[in-house]
Structure 1
Amino acid sequence: MTDRSNRRVEGSPATHGAGSPQIGRLGAQSAQLAGHPVIVMVQPDTHSYVGRDGHRLIGDSTEFAVREHGARPIAPPDFSFPGDPAPQWQAHLTYATDELLIHFPGGSVMYDGTMPTTANWRAAAASSRGIVMITGPIAAVSAIEPVIIGGRASWIRLPLICE
């Protein structure tokens, strides 16, 4: 069973790499991207500023915090997501309840909520070398593809423990 003693952020979110209360409104969506099982972080209150030329001027706070801890930009059409899971990150998924818990390096909670999965996603995740998490200014499930194709998303491979 997952240790639940470190599930909540104590004190200001700014001390944990996130200077915005938006981090408490994250959602997680399981998906497949180019054959890879992924976790897409969805946030209804995302903030990003994009210049007239389409380039991002300021990314959202969650993506900033994740990049500060090792995430890399997604560069379409390359969806190979090379490498091993990032050190010190932790992700735990309980299939029976769909509970997903993700910790930043150092133990601070990044996400504590649910993420339903399919049997195909679970099988692909079990045979992968960690799970890819995608962040960016993704305000709704319908925004996932445009944000990724537009090069405004980041990814990081996490170690995933499933029970």
Structure 2
Amino acid sequence: MSLEFYAGIDNFKVDAKGNISITEKLAGSALKNKLDELQKLKADGVVRVTIESAVTRYTEKIDAETLEPVEYYERDIKGVWTTVENEQTSLDVGEEQTIEREEEITADVVDKFLLTEKYELKSDFDPKKVLIRIAEGYTFDEIASELKAESASELIKKLSEARIEYAGMAKAWYEVKEDDDEE
């Protein structure tokens, strides 16, 4: 049995014996209909905890002269999200000059994109398959075994790498979605 939810770390402290107490804070709806499962896990006395950041940080390349992104993302006529290279607008025909800008997006937005949208896989790892299994209640250990991954930690690492890979695309999707929702 496992539970997955988004929470903030409200506090943590270390007592004199070296025991660490972690307090998480989450909206009441985050565990909606899962309080019985939480009670069963508490009764077990011991649980395995994996804490990972829900913020996905990625690098966006920017044209140093125009300050425009080097690439952008859009849906093609088949509804598939693709990466499009910005045409060089600089008059300098020499080596392209780019700067890198750090961006952030929450993992839940990237996950919603990966679950609901069409996109070309950038590797042989399919994040959608993993996210579907997580939503169905499978543990990372079970999914790792099913996908013949080395370990649950390796699976989590691959999922984090995929989130970074698709973060820019997810951000573009989210902005379009927000615009559509406002209309």
Same fold (TM over 0.5): no
The structure with the larger Rg is: 2
Q: Which has the higher helix share?
A: 2
Query: With CA pairs under 8 Å and 6+ residues apart, which has the higher RCO, 1 or 2?
Result: 1
Given the two structures, how large is their TM-score scaled by the length of structure 1? Answer: 0.23
Given the two structures, how large is their TM-score scaled by the length of structure 2? Answer: 0.21
